[in-house]
Amino acid sequence: MFKEDVLQEIKTKKEEWERETVNKLIAKSPEMKGEFKTASDIVVERLYTPEDIKDIDYLKDLGFPGEYPFTRGIQPTMYRGRFWTMRQYAGFGTAEESNRRYKYLLEQGQTGLSIAFDLPTQIGYDSDHPLAQGEVGKVGVAIDSLEDMEVLFDGIPLDKVSTSMTINAPAAIIWAMYLAVAEKQGVSFDKLEGTIQNDILKEYIARGTYIFPPKPSMRLITDTFEFGSKYVPKWNTISISGYHIREAGATAVQEVAFTLADGIAYVEAAVKKGLDPNVFGQRLSFFFNAHNDFLEEIAKFRAARRLWAKIMRERFGVTNPRAMMLRFHTQTAGSTLTAQQPLNNIVRVTIQALAAVLGGTQSLHTNSYDEALALPTEESVRIALRTQQIIAYESGVTNTIDPLAGSYYIEWLTNKIEEEAKRLIDKIDEIGGMVEAIEKGFVQKEIQDSAYRYQLEVEKGDRIVVGVNRFQIEEDLSKLNLLKVDPSIAEKQVKRLQALKQKRDNIRVKSVLEDLRKAAMDESVNLMPYFLEAVKAYATEGEICDVLRDVFGVYVEKIIL
């Protein structure tokens, strides 16, 4: 991109500048640290010049938005055509309360729904299961059957909203419930837009809501790919997630590497099943973290897009450009929120959200300032939403696409992250792929080591967290107005469950569960139609999962510290 003789001159002049100007100053007034690093331990130089990016070929490495390798964005007009979807993750307690919160958010200008389920639902237990005690309705809405799902979306036209559901191990079943609700509303499947997270590999690594072992879990996932490709073409049947991997302590490089390696594993599984990556590849979506190091995050998103495009094209021979695009949702980093001086979190979230926008995200969730302490109140979630709206409408960053491109630092860092991530992916390939690497505990150990290193840095004071290890104040946080989840929810749910089991046709339930069991034992059968039948008969989520537990077995975690 630059002429050789100009580069040479810049190099010489820079050395002169360092010798004459910089070193003279440093002798009197040294820099604050010996070494400056990104949040992921990448060493950052004082200054970047064309020299640092001299090997970049604009057309090959950057190109144009909407075209391979998609470094600058996946849509030709990006935010000039349409802002990213403002999608706040929400859900708690009963389906009625969540329904109310969704309607509130839609009224306030949110453009997509994001459903949070409680832990028993995420792990395939009904609200009356002994392990569900104390957990019902706490971190999300309790869904035991299609009946709850119907209440959840009561008055919300499914052909008018795009719905993202954070559900993994039992995703196919919950998706079946959503489809059944759409059917009842008279909306045809081909109109439905949304996402199911459905990413089991990261559960084993970082999030913990797994049920079955890897092999049958992959089967469930590829079943959804197949069903979606045929019948629900606008639906993203997976959201390959790096968010949680980052939250568990990974660096930006590890976040990209492990997420894309998970993606590779899913594509391989689907291809093995006979599915065409040019088709299902269009409906893979991703989910990343927006962390503190503003510039590193922007570079990270760009690197991820370019790397995924190369993987799909070179490794899987994909020819359809739409199947090479890394479309992603972003959430600002929950683990960076502090319990101390919580209002500071509004500032953190703003910086993180801005990084996601400058990184070209398709959809964004901003955390509320009180989330280190509890689920957000209406007020705090509104501020979080306004943060996005102010960026969109007032800041001007959306007027042009990928505005930071061409910055010497940003392009250098994008290259660096891509390079390091690729190296890590190669390592995983050597081990035998992501599933194998997880079995061996390699991935978990990498993440735990990073997490521990981070903690030590904070405790030593090498890494400053404002309000926590610097600029602390005496404060009484008990006066904060926090959300309390109604403890009588569990009781209500259990009663509702009991009533359901009375009213439904139990003979039919028994029959559909038996059909499901037989189908589950045959690897070649797609289970989606069986889930649909089961949920429509008002079999509960727990009952359906119990059948699968019987057939597939259950997963027990591995610990490597």
Partner 1 sequence: MKELLDRAISGDPIAIARVITLVENGEEYGIRLLQDLYPLTGKAHYIGVTGAPGVGKSTLIDKLIWHLRSRGEKVGVVAVDPSSPFTGGAFLGDRLRMQRHATDPGVFIRSMGSRGALGGLARATADVVKVLDACGFNFVIVETVGAGQNEVDIVKTADTVILVIVPGMGDEVQIIKAGIMEIGDIFVVNKSDKDGAQRLAKELEAWIEFGYEGSGWIPPVVMTIAEDGTGVDRLVSEIDRHRAYLNDSGELKRRREKRVMEEINVALGESIKRRIRDVLEDEVMQRYVSEVLEGRRDPYSVVEEILGKLTKGGV
Partner 2 sequence: MNERKIRVLIAKPGLDGHDRGAKVVARGLRDVGMEVIYTGLRQTPEQIVQSAIQEDVDVIGLSVLSGAHEYYCRRVLELLREKGAGHIVLVVGGVIPPEDIPRLKEMGVAQVFGPGTPISEVAEFIRQVVKR
Segment near partner 1 (CB under 8 A); pick from 81-89, 337-345, 506-514, 551-559: 551-559
Query: How many Cα neighbours within 13 Å face the side chain of 491?
Result: 4
In angstroms, the Cα distances linking 169 to 130, 218, 379, 512 are: 19, 10, 32, 20
**Which is nearer to partner 1, 32 or 561 (by Cβ)?**
561
Shortest reach from residue 444's CB to partner 2, in Å: 9
Strand order in the sheet with 238-241: 85-86, 363-365, 328-332, 284-290, 238-241
Binding site partner of 507, from partner 1, partner 2, none, Cβ cut-off 5-8 A by kind: none
**Which is nearer to partner 2, 120 or 263 (by Cβ)?**
120
> CA 201, 241, 345, 374 torsion: positive or negative?
negative
Q: Which residues contact 196 (CB under 8 A, 6 or more apart)?
A: 164, 165, 167, 171, 172, 174, 175, 224, 235, 236, 237, 238, 239
**Which is nearer to partner 2, 7 or 468 (by Cβ)?**
468
Which parts of 429-458 interact with partner 1 (CB under 8 A)?
440-441
523 binds partner 1 per the rule CB under 8 A: no
Token pair belonging to 554: 């259950």
How far is the C-alpha of 356 from the C-alpha of 369, rounded, in Å? 18
In angstroms, the Cα distances linking 83 to 69, 70, 191, 398 are: 22, 18, 21, 8
How far is the C-alpha of 83 from the C-alpha of 509, rounded, in Å? 45
Binding site partner of 440, from partner 2, partner 1, none, Cβ cut-off 5-8 A by kind: partner 1
Among 75, 185, 469, 511, binds partner 2 (CB under 8 A): 469
561 binds partner 1 per the rule CB under 8 A: yes
Shortest reach from residue 263's CB to partner 2, in Å: 21
Q: What is the per-residue DSSP string for 119-146?
A: HHHHTT--TTSGGGTTTTTTSSB---SH
Binding site partner of 441, from partner 2, partner 1, none, Cβ cut-off 5-8 A by kind: partner 1
203 binds partner 2 per the rule CB under 8 A: yes
Token pair belonging to 287: 């989910």
User: Residue 181 in 3-state DSSP?
Assistant: helix
In contact, 377 and 367? CB cutoff 8 Å: no
Token pair belonging to 442: 């390699």
Segment near partner 1 (CB under 8 A); pick from 58-66, 67-75, 526-534, 553-561: 553-561
125 binds partner 2 per the rule CB under 8 A: yes
Task: Kindly determine how many residues on this chain lie close enough to bind partner 1 according to the rule CB under 8 A.
Answer: 9
Shortest reach from residue 121's CB to partner 1, in Å: 23
Q: Which residues contact 218 (CB under 8 A, 6 or more apart)?
A: 200, 265, 266, 269, 435
43 binds partner 1 per the rule CB under 8 A: no
Binding site partner of 452, from partner 2, partner 1, none, Cβ cut-off 5-8 A by kind: partner 2
Among 19, 23, 36, 134, binds partner 2 (CB under 8 A): 134
Burial of 394 (0-12, 13-18, 19+ CB in 10 A): exposed
Among 37, 138, 234, 440, binds partner 2 (CB under 8 A): 138
Shortest reach from residue 398's CB to partner 2, in Å: 33
In contact, 61 and 69? CB cutoff 8 Å: yes
460 binds partner 1 per the rule CB under 8 A: no
76 binds partner 1 per the rule CB under 8 A: no
Q: Which residues contact 276 (CB under 8 A, 6 or more apart)?
A: none
**Which is nearer to partner 2, 81 or 130 (by Cβ)?**
130
**Which is nearer to partner 2, 193 or 546 (by Cβ)?**
546
523 binds partner 2 per the rule CB under 8 A: no
101 binds partner 2 per the rule CB under 8 A: no
Which parts of 175-234 interact with partner 1 (CB under 8 A)?
213
Helical H segments across 63-213, by residue range: 78-81, 95-107, 119-122, 146-152, 171-185, 200-202
549 binds partner 1 per the rule CB under 8 A: no
**Which is nearer to partner 1, 314 or 557 (by Cβ)?**
557
Interaction site with partner 1 (CB under 8 A): 213, 440-441, 553, 556-557, 559-561
Q: Which residues bind partner 2 (CB under 8 A)?
A: 119-120, 122-123, 125, 130-135, 138-139, 203, 207-210, 247-249, 335, 337-340, 372-375, 448, 451-452, 455, 458-459, 465, 468-469, 476-478, 480, 482, 484-485, 557, 559, 561
